[in-house]
Amino acid sequence: MSRRAVLLSALPLLAGALGCGRPPKAELDPKATLTTLQRARPEVPPGDLATALTTLAWRTHPDLAAAKADLEAAKAGIRTAQARPNPSFGFGATKAEGVPQPWTLTYGLNLPIELGGKRRFRVKLAKLQVVEAELGVAETAWSLRSGVRATLVDWQQAREALRSAEEEATLREALLKLQEQRFAAGEIGAPERATANLEAQRAEAARLTARTGLDRAEAALALAAGTTPDALRTRLAAEPGPDLQLPPAPAERADDALVHRLEVRQVLVDWDRNETTLDLELAKRIPDLQVGPAYSLDQGVKKWTLGFTVELPIFDRRQGPIAEAVARRGVLEARLRQVEARALSEAELSRSREAEARARLKAALQVLAESQARLAVAQRAFDLGGSDRGELLAAKLEDLQARSLAVEAWAETRRARLALEDAFQKPLDPAEQPYPFDEAPR
């Protein structure tokens, strides 16, 4: 056989090989990624601070970007599942000695034919993988929302603690000066003066501790929002203090948690995947065909053949995988009961914690109102000359302590409501928009 004949016979294989393109080359540079992160200074969007920081986290946080990348990879898997098996081509040459036309050339084509709907089930499994990736994006988005709002409460409480500590330090310093004057006049003894001095020192130490706590809370809030403390500081400086009001009681029922909990939906996706896997294993009991038309030039004689190959399902009838899928139904049923029981328990506990926190806040607000009333009376008495400065300072310290307790109760109520939202994985505010899945992180 001539070299030209061999080359012509190999042309189909060469054409297939040359037709396989390669995507553009890509590299992963950790240093470049780190530089990008260090230079990033995303601005906080306008609007309510909690909503703005949540939106900022959804746009910039690398955790959500990773979840979105997993989702895109899962979507690409659908194309893989939709692919059909390629045919194959074969060529052979045989030389016989002592005959006028010694070469026998054989060309064979193998056409695979899938039966039983296997491709359809593979595509369905790939689409369920996309749904699971979407749940992963939603879980990450909710986790970022929870983290932002929890650290925001911590920051608000830390800021109020610093304000309270600074005000107390100022009041204690004024009270110390007053006691110094009284001691010099012989109106009080050394123990009273020492007590005032000790309280002033304690208040100053508390102020320094509160300053450190606020710095840490600010750094934690910036980390949760996917930005830097410097980029966040201007916006935080303009944020007003907490609204010390009693929030309304939530209307959600405990069984609502079963509707919104992402882990419940995850179990349902696992169930669908298991059922589709079972369908695929049942379809695999139907053997695929391999149809093989062939042509040969046998010592000058042209021959055509047509044959097929099929697997004989004698020993393996997919009994093992089918039994595994059937048995997994029980596992998923048990997991669903487990998830539902935990969801109901967390919802009930969160509702109880929220109710207790609201009751505590109500009592603290009542105490604050009473202390403010006493402070107003003391201020009027001082202005009219009916009391001295010491009594007014004592009333201010009492009011400051009452406000600190109210802020603490407010923060606990906010944390309890966040825990309730986590139990339902649903905002208590119906006006709050859910995570926009069609908006990729920027």
> Which amino acid, one-letter code, is at 405?
L
Compute CA distances 385 → 106, 374, 392, 435, whole Å.
120, 16, 11, 60
Query: At 32, is the pLDDT very low, low, confident or very high (cuts 50, 70, 90)?
Result: low
Mean residue pLDDT of the chain comes to: 86
Residue 1, CA atoms < 13 Å, CB-side half-sphere: 20
Per-residue pLDDT reduced to its tens digit, 189-242: 888 889 999 999 999 999 999 999 999 999 999 999 988 888 888 889 988 988
The predicted structure's pLDDT at residue 440: 38
C-beta of residue 152 within 8 angstroms of C-beta of residue 49: yes
The pLDDT > 90 percentage for the chain reads 54
Which residues touch 108 (CB under 8 Å, ≥6 apart)? 89, 90, 91, 92, 292, 293, 294, 295
Q: What is the pLDDT of residue 31?
A: 57
pLDDT, average across residues 109-132: 93
pLDDT of residue 388: 83
- Residue with the bigger pLDDT between 23 and 6: it is 23
Asked whether the beta carbons of 77 and 132 are under 8 A apart, the reply is no
Q: Is 181's pLDDT higher than 50?
A: yes
| Residue 218 contacts residue 229 (beta carbons within 8 Å) | yes
Average pLDDT over every residue of 327-347: 93
Indicate whether this model's pTM tops 0.85: no
Per the DSSP assignment, residues forming a β-bridge with 295 are 107, 304
pLDDT exceeds cutoff 50 at 111: yes
The residue assigned the tokens 């750094």 is 219
Where b means 16+ CB within 10 Å and e means fewer, 135-164 reads: bbbbbbbbbbbbbbbbbbbbbbbbbbbbbb
CA nearest neighbour of 196 among 232, 171, 163, 225: 171
Lowest-pLDDT range of 94-108, 111-125, 278-292, 392-406: 94-108
User: What average pLDDT does range 413-421 have in this prediction?
Assistant: 94
Higher pLDDT, 253 or 110: 110
pLDDT at 441: 36
Give the integer Cα–Cα distance in Å for 339 and 342. 5
Predicted local distance difference test score (pLDDT) of residue 6:
45
pLDDT single digits (tens) 244-300: 889 888 887 767 777 778 999 999 999 999 999 999 999 999 998 999 888 888 777
Task: Quote the pLDDT of residue 3.
Answer: 42
Higher-confidence residue of 43 and 348: namely 348
pLDDT of residue 277: 95
Rounded Cα–Cα distance for residues 371 and 379 (Å): 12
- Percentage of the chain beyond pLDDT 70 is 89
Average pLDDT of 312-325? 90
Q: What is the pLDDT of residues 40-95, one digit of tens each?
A: 557 777 778 999 999 999 988 889 999 999 999 999 999 999 999 899 999 888 88
Greater confidence (430 vs 16) lies with 430
Least confident window among 14-23, 165-174, 175-184, 247-256 = 14-23
The pLDDT of residue 261 is 86
What confidence score (pLDDT) does residue 25 get? 74
The tokens describing 4, both together, are 């030209």
Q: Check pLDDT > 50 for residue 442.
A: no
SS3 of the chain: the string is CCHHHHHHHHHHHHHHHHCCCCCCCCCCCHHHHHHHHHHCCCCCCCCCHHHHHHHHHHHHCHHHHHHHHHHHHHHHHHHHHHCCCCCEEEEEEEECCCCCCCEEEEEEEEEEECCCCHHHHHHHHHHHHHHHHHHHHHHHHHHHHHHHHHHHHHHHHHHHHHHHHHHHHHHHHHHHHHHHHHHHCCCCCHHHHHHHHHHHHHHHHHHHHHHHHHHHHHHHHHHHHCCCHHHHHHHHHCCCCCCCCCCCCCCCCHHHHHHHCHHHHHHHHHHHHHHHHHHHHHHCCCCCEEEEEEEEEECCEEEEEEEEEECCCCCCCCHHHHHHHHHHHHHHHHHHHHHHHHHHHHHHHHHHHHHHHHHHHHHHHHHHHHHHHHHHHHHHHHHCCCCCHHHHHHHHHHHHHHHHHHHHHHHHHHHHHHHHHHHHCCCCCCCCCCCCCCCCCC
Query: Which two tokens mark 328?
Result: 């997994």
